[in-house]
């Protein structure tokens, strides 16, 4: 099984959404995990609400810390966040999506970030189905 690692700061919003979408639509032989470098206590309630709107339940998910093992197992790492707090990831194939942090945004604004993440995930899945890895 090949793995995509979605990474952001707290693993409470953007990376959780990306992981959920990827696992919902993943091409055969692929799966996603997500992690952060400074964990939140829980997945952000607005992330849970926004994904519930999409028919995806992430209420059971727990933020996890990015480890060396996760990086080594990943075939691709996607850095979802933007700014100086974003982690450096040591994986052969890395992509940066530079998504703004929706955690303090009103739900309507956060919904736009969710849609942007969904579009990026679906594009990634399409590229992977054609075996086009990020460089």
Where exactly are the structural domains of the chain?
Answer: 2-129
Assigned token pair, 128 = 């992977």
Residues facing residue 65 across a β-bridge: 36
Summarize pLDDT for 51-66 with one digit per residue, the tens.
999 999 999 999 999 9
State pTM to two decimals.
0.93
Q: Does domain 2-129 have CATH number 2.60.40.1930?
A: no
By the 10 Å C-beta count (0-12 exposed, 13-18 middle, 19+ buried), 93 is classed as middle
| Average pLDDT of every residue of the chain | 93
Residue 98 pLDDT level (bands cut at 50, 70, 90)? very high
Give the catalytic positions in this structure: 8, 81, 86
Residue 134 pLDDT level (bands cut at 50, 70, 90)? low
Give the pLDDT of residue 127: 92
Q: Which of 70-79, 81-90, 109-118 has the lowest mean pLDDT?
A: 81-90
Q: End-to-end CA distance of the chain, in Å?
A: 20
Percent of the chain past pLDDT 70, that is, above it, reads 97
Give the pLDDT of residue 132: 65
């Amino acid at each position: 099984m090949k793995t995509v690692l979605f990474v952001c700061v707290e693993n409470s919003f953007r990376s959780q959404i990306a992981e959920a979408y990827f696992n919902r639509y993943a091409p055969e032989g692929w799966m996603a995990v997500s992690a952060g470098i400074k964990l939140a206590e829980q997945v952000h309630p607005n992330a849970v609400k926004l994904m519930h709107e999409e028919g995806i339940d992430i209420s059971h998910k727990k933020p996890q810390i990015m480890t060396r093992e996760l990086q080594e197992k990943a075939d691709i790492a996607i850095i979802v966040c933007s700014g100086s707090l974003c982690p450096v990831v040591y994986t052969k194939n890395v992509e940066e999506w530079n998504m703004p942090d929706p955690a303090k945004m009103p739900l309507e604004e956060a919904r736009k970030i969710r849609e942007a993440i969904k579009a990026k995930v679906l594009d990634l899945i399409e590229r992977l189905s054609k075996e086009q890895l990020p460089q």
